[in-house]
Amino acid sequence: MSQKSYTSRLKQDYIRLKQDPVPYIHAEFLPSNILEWHYVIQGPKDSPFNGGYYHGSLIFTKDFPFKPPSIYMYTPNGRFKPNKRLCLSISDFHPDTWNPAWSVSTILTGLLSIMLENSPLLGSCESTLYEKKKLAMNSLEFNLKNDTFKELFPDLVSEIQEKLEKINEMKKKNEKEASEKSANETNQLDSATNNGTVYNLCTNVIILVMFGIFICIVKKIYESGEQEE
């Protein structure tokens, strides 16, 4: 296929994607290579991926749209193995099921749909709900280490940095509250210990005084008995 054909088609798909964005998905192609697209999936709120940012790529050939792209996901996510070609009906693993009418938007919509499923496939992995949520949180800092991510998605970089600042502020606040609570508990324990010591001392003094009085009474009784004799 001529360069004009695949370039024209990919540019058309890009314009359509900007005019009618796919929910939860951002996509850009490399300025130096229109055949290499990068996407970011933001985990839907009602999914285990909520709060996560998942970066991957679509690698097209010059035969597009008659042949499907390779699909990768780089951010650890608990659903797909990172940096592995994904075996999907919309990827180059299954050219027999590919439809040339499918656009980049169609591919990304299908990818998100499959990500939210649990069916096993080549390139997928198993993880618990807790692990997925933990990976979603870890994805923020992970993506900021990727130069391509930072170059193509500056708005998301700013968004992630703001979230990380809020998370760090919350951690510091919680640590401060925990420290103050611990200090208060220590002070209360020390106070209780001191009060107990004073109480025990007073009790001992009273016992000694009472014992002294008792001795005096016994002594007087004894002396009184001797005088009567």
Question: Is 216 designated active site?
Answer: no
Query: Do residues 131 and 137 touch, judged by C-beta distance below 8 A?
Result: no
Residue by residue, DSSP assigns 7-50 as: HHHHHHHHHHHHHSPPTTEEEEEETTEEEEEEEEEEPPTTSTTT
Query: Do residues 124 and 111 touch, judged by C-beta distance below 8 A?
Result: no
CA dist., res. 66 & res. 2, Å (int): 12
Which position among 87, 125, 202, 216 bears the catalytic label? 87
**What would you report as the CA-atom Rg of the chain, rounded to the nearest whole angstrom?**
37
CA dist., res. 58 & res. 37, Å (int): 5
The CA distances from residue 2 to 60, 62, 195, 203, in Å, are 14, 8, 91, 102
CA dist., res. 99 & res. 82, Å (int): 26
Residue among 142, 86, 149 at smallest CA distance from 113 = 86
Q: Which residues are catalytic?
A: 87
